[in-house]
Structures are given as structure tokens and as C-alpha cells.
Structure 1
Amino acid sequence: MAFSRKDWSHKLDNALWAYRTTMKTSMGLSPFQMVYGKACHLPVETEHKALWDLKLLNFDFHEIQSKRRNQLLELEEMWLHAYDSSRSYKEKVKFYHDRKLIKRVFTPGQQVLLFNSRLKLFPGKLKSKWSGPFVIKRVLPNEAVELETPDNDVQQWSWVVNGQRLKHYLGGEMEQFSTIMMLVDP
């Protein structure tokens, strides 16, 4: 039986099983192990089920009680291990992310350019990814900056942005470039 793209729901159970039984590097465990505290066994692996049933029927209550207590302790230990693994994984990812960030210092009254993230949706070769210049009204904690439109605008408004989306405006370079282009291209 051949499946097409519209029959995706027939493969959903298998995909979920594969996801839940796959080891995740961030946790060091699979989601199945996190929930049930043990590795999953495929139906093929349970061919000796009759032997398992015999062992289950011939049990000692105190032995089973101590075994269950140990299983719960092992499960808690696995959770702690997964928590530690996840925390160290997040620290590594944060370190690599923070390493790429550029530390910029902004002061009120300074002119800056704002990165225009909408251009990723509608790219253009010659469109600038930076809009502005804008004037910094005040600097807030956690690298947040409140911007306002320049004084010469009729309708003046302000908003708060992340400082990583800003870069210093080196005043005059854009005007000089446009003046040179006007001289070259009559």
C-alpha cells in the first residue's frame, strides 16, 4: 500500500514512537525513560513473556517492595541526571550565543540605526536592513533602549527596542554618499 502526502495521519503513531524512544542529547535520556524510568522494549523483545509471568507470580512481598523503592530512587536519579544534562546543554548554547553578541554602549541623545527585521520576509538586494536614524531617549536596564523619532519630524513617537538591534549612526556619511552619487550620475 503506497502512502501519499495526504495519508500522513497513518504514519503519525510510528513517528511519535520514534521521537519518544530516541535519546535526546540535551537530557541524556529519551522521553520514554523520563516518564517510565526504564528503556523501552519492543514487542519483538518480549517473546519470552511466559518466563516473565512466572517470575511475577512467584514473588515475595518484601522483596518486591524494596525493588519498587529502588526503582523509584533510580527514576529520581535519572531525572536529576537529565536536569543536570539539560542545564549544562543550555549553558553551552547560551555561551555560544553570547559570544557572537557585540557589546555596545548607548547614551541618551545619541543617534542610532535600527535593524529592520521585516526585510527577511520581503528581501531586496539594494534595500538597506537598517532604518533611521533615531534618537535615544533613555537607556533602560537589560540593554533595552527607548527610541524616538528625530526632532524635525512633525509627528514624534517613541518605543522600546532591544539594544542588540541597534548600531551607532555615524552622522553625515549617508548624506555624503548621496551627494557623491548625484555628482557622478547627472
Structure 2
Amino acid sequence: MELEHKAYWALKQTNFDLTVAGDHRKIPLNELNELHDQAYENSLIYKEKTKRIHDSKIKNCVFNVGDRVLLFNSRLKIFSSKLKTHWSGPFTIAKVFPYGTVELSQ
């Protein structure tokens, strides 16, 4: 196959045999798969690292009956209340349930 073209790379690309062209096409796909695997492994490493940092900052709070606590109001607010406090209380803990759930009383 002969073509007149001024760019050498265009001639080089058009003069491939089908098997050579197939092999040439597979190489970038394999490299792309390797890059995908590396990116996946790097994302796993990043997730583990951020989980360790997050877990190290979590404090275990053990509440007992009779403790005095403040209650944080985290509801969606329609009107802006920058100067209003989001905390209410103090309340006394009446009952302690599993998984950190408590019943409050005045």
C-alpha cells in the first residue's frame, strides 16, 4: 500500500500488518489496565490512611445515669441563626441504652 503523505508518522501508521497492528493496539490497553490497577491500589491505601486518622480522632464517651449533658440541635434551619446557640440543656441522663443511646430528663 502506497500513499503520498508529508508526515512520516502517518505513513508509519498506515503501513502496519494486521497482526502487528493488533499487537501494537494491545500494548496501550495493557498499560492502561496496569495504570488502572495502580490507581485502585493507591485509592485503597489512601482510604485506609484517612480511616486511621479519622478513627484516631474519635473519642469514646461513656455516659452514666445521673450525668449532666448538653443537647446539640442539628435540625435543618430555614432561617439563619448565627448568634443563636445550637446547644440546649443541661439535661440529666435517666437511662443508658446500648450503642450510645441515652434517655434525657430535665
Same-fold call, TM cutoff 0.5:
yes
Q: Which among 57, 63, 84 is matched to residue 100 of structure 1?
A: 57
Considering only aligned residues, what root-mean-square deviation do their CA atoms show, in Å?
3.0
- 1:106/1:139 contact within 8 Å kept: no
The letter of the residue matching 1:61 is L
State how far apart, in whole Å, the 2-side matches of 1:89 and 1:50 are: 45
Larger radius of gyration between Structure 1 and Structure 2 = 2
- 1:134/1:147 contact within 8 Å kept: no
Where do 5+ consecutive residues of structure 1 fail to align?
A: 1-48, 153-186
Where do 5+ consecutive residues of structure 2 fail to align?
A: 1-5
TM superposition outliers: structure 1 runs of 4+ over 6 Å: none
Match of 1:139 in 2: 98
State how far apart, in whole Å, the 2-side matches of 1:80 and 1:117 are: 41
Judging changes above 3 Å, is the alpha-carbon distance between structure 1 residues 58 and 110 closer, same or farther for their aligned structure 2 residues?
A: farther
Percent identity over paired residues: 40
Q: Of the two structures, which has the highest relative contact order with CA contacts closer than 8 Å and spacing of 6 or more?
A: 2
Displacement of 1:82 in angstroms is: 0.5
Judging changes above 3 Å, is the alpha-carbon distance between structure 1 residues 71 and 122 closer, same or farther for their aligned structure 2 residues?
A: same
- Number of residue-to-residue matches in the alignment: 95
Match of 1:70 in 2: 27
State how far apart, in whole Å, the 2-side matches of 1:82 and 1:51 are: 35
State how far apart, in whole Å, the 2-side matches of 1:91 and 1:114 are: 32
After TM superposition, the score normalised by the length of structure 2 is: 0.64
